[in-house]
């Protein structure tokens, strides 16, 4: 956990303004004394997504990288394929607008799918990941270890989730933080796709438990491997096995648990 630690003294290099968090006064109670201190608290705002003028969903997210959030959500939720170009994404006030090439009937069907949290893999046909890319054990460990190193908002507040897209050597290509775990995944997927990245050659690394909702996002985006320091669940393992994605949890040097498609891990 992060600490939501007290703000550093004025003039400290790390004590800069951020859309992620704001200073809040609180009473710190310890065994020895009670003291009022200033701490950084993460910001969570409401954003409504409209596609083809239809309200699709409401995010409770950090107020940054909203275009990336919209694109990543549409891909991770199966509204569009990862390689599909969409119209301009615009943000006005707390609303996000975009256009996609889908007819009204299909959009309505996608919109009214039952979702758990932000996602549920409801498609009749599960996408199959057929990439033959290989990942070394060290690359996966190195990628997961960088979650803590990169998580600035997490270090400041203890309230942020982190997701990263890494190459097959474990190098971080793209990194996003958000107050919501699912939104952090959507944002980093959107950022990677905006830069033309082939996600089938990449690792999706994210904080927290790898529930089926998170694995379904990785499948829709086309990742070959998804990894976390946390645990997973039965439904996620079943989905990963059917989809052909390598699912790795409990990544803690020098160990990891590989639940599906272990043949992609080389040594």
Q: What is the pLDDT of residues 113-134, one digit of tens each?
A: 544 444 444 455 678 898 999 9
Cα-Cα-Cα-Cα torsion 73, 74, 78, 84, nearest 10 degrees, comes to: -130
Residue listed under structure tokens 């990336």: 68
| Global confidence as pTM | 0.87
* Sequence spans of domains, the chain: 45-111, 135-266
Is 45-111 CATH 1.10.357.10? no
Are 51 and 74 a contacting pair, CB within 8 Å?
Answer: yes
Q: How confident is the model at residue 10 (pLDDT cuts 50, 70, 90)?
A: very low
Q: How confident is the model at residue 14 (pLDDT cuts 50, 70, 90)?
A: very low
CATH no. of 135-266: 3.40.140.10
CA 256 to chain centre: 20
Measure the CA–CA gap between 199 and 16, rounded to whole angstroms. Answer: 33
| pLDDT at position 1 over 70 | no
């Amino acid at each position: 956990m992060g600490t939501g630690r007290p703000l550093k003294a004025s003039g400290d290099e790390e004590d800069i303004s951020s859309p992620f968090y704001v200073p809040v006064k609180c009473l710190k109670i310890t065994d020895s004394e009670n003291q009022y201190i200033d701490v950084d608290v993460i910001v969570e705002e409401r954003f409504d997504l409209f596609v083809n003028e239809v309200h699709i969903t409401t995010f409770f997210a950090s107020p940054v990288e909203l275009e990336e959030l919209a694109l990543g959500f549409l891909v991770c939720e199966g509204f569009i394929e990862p390689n599909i170009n969409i119209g301009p994404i615009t943000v006005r006030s707390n609303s996000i607008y975009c256009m996609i090439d889908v007819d009204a009937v299909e959009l309505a069907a996608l919109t009214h799918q039952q979702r758990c949290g932000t996602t549920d893999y409801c498609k009749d046909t599960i996408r199959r990941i057929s990439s033959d890319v290989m990942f070394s054990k060290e690359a996966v460990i190195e990628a997961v270890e960088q979650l803590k190193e990169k998580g600035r908002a997490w270090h400041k507040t203890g309230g942020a989730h982190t997701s990263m897209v890494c190459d097959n050597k474990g190098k971080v290509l793209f990194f996003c933080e958000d107050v919501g775990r699912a939104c952090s995944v959507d944002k980093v997927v959107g950022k990677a796709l905006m830069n033309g990245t082939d996600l089938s050659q990449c690792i999706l690394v994210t904080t927290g438990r790898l529930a089926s909702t998170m694995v379904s996002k990785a499948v829709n985006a086309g990742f070959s491997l998804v990894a976390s320091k946390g645990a997973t669940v039965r439904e996620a393992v079943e989905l990963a096995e059917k989809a052909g994605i390598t699912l790795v949890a409990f990544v803690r040097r020098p160990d990891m648990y590989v639940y599906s498609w272990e043949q992609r891990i080389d040594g």
